Amino acid sequence: MSKKIKDNNDDDKKRPTTEEGTDRRNFLKLGVFAAGLTVAGAGLQKAFSTEKDSGEKTKVLTTDGKVVEVDSTQVKGCQSCCTSRAESREGIPNKKWVMVIDLSRCKDLLKCQHACQKYHHLSGMNVWLKVFRMQDAEKTAPYWMPKPCLHCDKPPCVKVCPVSATYKRSDGIVLVDNERCIGCRFCMAACPYATRSFNWGDPELLSETTGECYSPEKGFPQKKGTVEKCDFCPDLLRQGKLPHCVAACPNGVYYFGDLTEDTVTNGDETLRFSQLMKDKSGYRLHEMLGTEPSVYYLPPVNRLFPFKEREKEDANKAK
Amino acid sequence: MEQTKKVVSEAEAIQMLRQYNEDLLPKKFGIIGKSWAAFLLIVFLTGVYCYTNQLRQGLAITGMRDYVFWGIYISNFVFFVAISLVGSLVTAVLYLMNVPWRAPLTRISEVIAVAAIVFAGLIIIVDMGRPDRILNMFIHGRIQSPIVWDVLVVTTYMTLSILLLYFPLLHGIAFCRDNLKGIPKWQKWMYKILSLGWKYKTEQYNVVKKAITILSVMIIPVALCIHTVTSWLFASTYRAGWDSTNFGAYFVSGAFLVGAGGVIAGMYLLRRFYSNYDRYLTDHHFDRMGKLLVLLAVVYGYFSINEYLIPAYKMKGEEAEHLHELFTGYYAPMFWSVQFFGIILPIIVLLFKKGRKPLPMFIMAICVVVGAWFKRYLIVIPTMSMLPVQEIPEDWKHYTPTFQEWSITCGSLAGALLIITFFVRFFPIISVWEIAEERGIDHDTIYKHLNESNEK
């Protein structure tokens, strides 16, 4: 146990950021305390405070995937703590995240995009989740297609990264570490789905994120000269919540879940993933490229809404 | 080979050597030379200034955005890598093939190679979003990434090229050390240190010759590697226009062509501005280089046809869109000018004996080099506008390099030319002992002559 704490300490020294120094120190102190008490679940994600128990209990997720109940006051001191950069390379154990996007339900409301932009504090032109107007051929019907990062199982972006700043985790998520990225943009060239954005200048940091600690699992604060993209919100997944886009969609377009459990949910209904694929003929984008995305699409048949052009687009055309 | 060597009597040889040494020692610049160097320096420094802006404000000062995310920095990098291949072509390939007319051309091509590869390395750092993290390449480098391969081969090639320039130059530096009169102290020191105590001894020549042979054998595969790996930066992606198995050979053949163009341009300018150089860079050399250029242009034309004709025959989805842009669309004027002036016209002109005279050769060489620069632009940029372009600001869809971006790019070109210019100013650009050897003067004679002149 004490060895583990020591390791954490070493890891801490290596990390260059200074803003969260006090948090980190508290975290360490608390970590030692936690070790002394031998709290269940070694290497707890959340740290613990020395304050007296309030009686209220909170569930926290340990790194090995167990849910443990601890006193809520113990969680408090570490609201802004980040999953360490080393830890965010591991992935949440025994999970394999999958997303299903039901094209028959999309009405181009863009609630998903707005939620994504807001919670990732994205400013300027960088958009992680795009909704494209698709029309496969001249005589076929147009439809709306939301496109997050597809978190490929054979990710071309990870293959070409010279410094392993973008990497694939055990739970299927592809992340970018913007404290390691050298800004060569080769991943943007390699990605056949054009999901990646680049911070060309100083990102307009919004007031609420200044001074916040960085974790590849959050994706912000953004940094100049580095690449960023949709991350499947692993910070929320650790808390047992759904990604922002999934939760924000009023039409239940997005299903999200764990492939090992074969279940996906859009918040309203929870379905068997394999059954859903079978019933609705799920497919993936550009299957012939061999990238094996983690995002599946359901074809736009029996649509909930008639297709309507986007007004902004019309305005652009008029220009 | 032995039979073609003229046997020269000793007196004749010493006469010839005296002539060479007089002709080929580096000379002070006249007004043209000075204003040329000043012009290059201004362009270079403007580029450096703009780069400091880029360091402060990020790549936002360029015209690149999320869709066209590689711009003229990258196409310029490809151009530099391409032109640097000529070092290995003239110095190594022609050397190993015992081509008799190569001797006066080796140093010109090698200095072009060194200048270009140095600036290829610099311009790729300019393109990085986070140049401050360059050490990550070594701390966290992944051998699976073609960028790491490129770093490895470019640094190897740079090292070999510098050695291949330096070893045959030792004689020349020593000769400057001993014979240049009325030069500033620092220059004397520079010659003294750089000549590594060269004494014109036969053993020294033998060591140098051995080193040149080993380096020539080593540099050919490395040269093929640098440009093949550079082409793989593109060919290893899925994008229409880059996703091609032809890319390695296509890039290498284009590189030899532009390099030969660069050497011809250099030959002409040296001959034009140094009165006695036409004794060494003769019409015969131009004639031979002209024939070589035709051969290289034909080979490059062959790979270009491979590159465009087969996708154009199939007209597959995105490929078709890309080819339409090039053949008849936005990029058509540039595309066809580059093909015509960069490949077709030089072949036609240089097939005629009159076309292989210095002036028309020079004009064709400039066409080839400028065409090659724009050819790289056409290889890099149009491919990136082939993706779904919705929901992005209008100006992101088209790429127009900004003034500062041009300025940095021109600064890098000026920097490479500055290296060459300063080299010509301070070092003999034509290798005396190699020419002497080519014309049948043996080492003992050279040695004797030089020691005599030193004693005086």
- ipTM here: 0.88
In chain B, residues with a C-beta closer than 8 Å to the C-beta of A185 are: 69-70, 129
Percent of chain B past pLDDT 70, that is, above it, reads: 92
Contact: B145, A186; criterion CB under 8 Å: yes
pLDDT at residue number A204: 76
Say which of B59, B60, B130 has its CB closest to residue A181.
Answer: B130
pLDDT at residue number A17: 42
The nearest CA of chain B is from the CA of A268 a distance in Å of: 30
Q: Which of residues 198-237 of A touch B (CB under 8 A)?
A: 198-202, 224-227
Which of B136, B383, B392 should one mutate to test binding to chain A, selecting the residue with the greatest count of A CBs within 10 A? B136
Give the model's confidence band at B371: pLDDT under 50 very low, under 70 low, under 90 confident, else very high: very high
The nearest CA of chain A is from the CA of B308 a distance in Å of: 21
| Statement: residue B324 has pLDDT above 80 | yes
The nearest CA of chain B is from the CA of A130 a distance in Å of: 8
Name the segment(s) of chain A with CATH classification 3.30.70.20.
93-298
pLDDT at residue number A51: 41
Percent of chain B past pLDDT 90, that is, above it, reads: 58
B155, B115, B428: which is closest to B263 by C-alpha? B115
Listed as ranges, residues in chain A with pLDDT below 50 are 1-52, 76-79, 314-319
Give the model's confidence band at B388: pLDDT under 50 very low, under 70 low, under 90 confident, else very high: low
A186 vs B: CB within 8 A: yes
Least reliable range by pLDDT among A272-281, B159-168, B388-397: B388-397
Cis ω before B131 (30° cut-off from 0): no
pLDDT at residue number A33: 43
B49-72 average pLDDT score:
92
Say which of B61, B137, B236 has its CB closest to residue A163.
Answer: B137
B62 vs A: CB within 8 A: yes
Q: What are the residue ranges spanned by the domains of chain B?
A: 10-455
pLDDT at residue number A72: 58
B113-137 average pLDDT score:
94
pLDDT at residue number B3: 43
Contact: B238, A132; criterion CB under 8 Å: no
For the residues of chain A, what is the DSSP string, one character each?
-HHHHHHHHHHHHH----TTHHHHHHHHHHHHHHHHHT-SSSS-SS---SSPP-S-EEEEE-TTS-EEEEEHHHHHTTTT----TTGGGT--TT--EEEEEEGGG-----HHHHHHHHHTT--TT--SSEEEEE-SSTTSPPEEEEE-----SS-HHHHH-SS--EEE-TTS-EEE-TTT-----HHHHH-TT---EE--S-----GGGTT----TTT--S--TT-EE-----HHHHHTT---HHHHH-TT--EEEEETTTTEEE-SS-EEEHHHHHHHHT-B-TTGGG----SEEEE-S-S-SS-----HHHHHHHH-
pLDDT at residue number A205: 65
In tens, the pLDDT along B199-217 reads: 888 888 889 889 999 999 9
The nearest CA of chain A is from the CA of B340 a distance in Å of: 30
| Statement: residue B26 has pLDDT above 90 | no
Give the model's confidence band at B24: pLDDT under 50 very low, under 70 low, under 90 confident, else very high: confident
The nearest CA of chain B is from the CA of A174 a distance in Å of: 17
Give the residue, B23 or B356, on which the prediction is more confident.
Answer: B356
What Å distances lie between residue B249 and A142, B146, B223, B254, CA to CA? Answer: 42, 17, 12, 8
| Statement: residue B19 has pLDDT above 90 | no
The CATH-assigned architecture of domain A93-298 is 2-Layer Sandwich (3.30)
In tens, the pLDDT along B224-255 reads: 999 999 999 999 999 889 999 999 999 999 99
Least reliable range by pLDDT among A110-124, A263-277, B123-137, B354-368: A110-124
Contact: A200, B60; criterion CB under 8 Å: yes
The whole-chain average pLDDT of chain B stands at: 88
Contact: B147, A186; criterion CB under 8 Å: yes
Give the model's confidence band at B432: pLDDT under 50 very low, under 70 low, under 90 confident, else very high: confident
pLDDT at residue number A153: 96
Contact: B69, A188; criterion CB under 8 Å: yes
In chain A, residues with a C-beta closer than 8 Å to the C-beta of B140 are: 163-165, 180
Say which of A163, A183, A224 has its CB closest to residue B142.
Answer: A163
Q: Which CATH number fits domain B10-455: 3.30.460.80, 3.30.750.24, 1.20.1630.10, 1.10.260.40?
A: 1.20.1630.10
Contact: B128, A183; criterion CB under 8 Å: yes
pLDDT at residue number A210: 62
pLDDT at residue number B455: 53
In chain A, residues with a C-beta closer than 8 Å to the C-beta of B393 are: 125
In chain A, residues with a C-beta closer than 8 Å to the C-beta of B129 are: 181-185, 198-199, 224-227
Say which of A160, A181, A316 has its CB closest to residue B145.
Answer: A160
- Residue A279: CB atoms within 10 A of its CB come to 11
A161 vs B: CB within 8 A: yes
Contact: A199, B58; criterion CB under 8 Å: yes
Which of B51, B54, B59 should one mutate to test binding to chain A, selecting the residue with the greatest count of A CBs within 10 A? B59
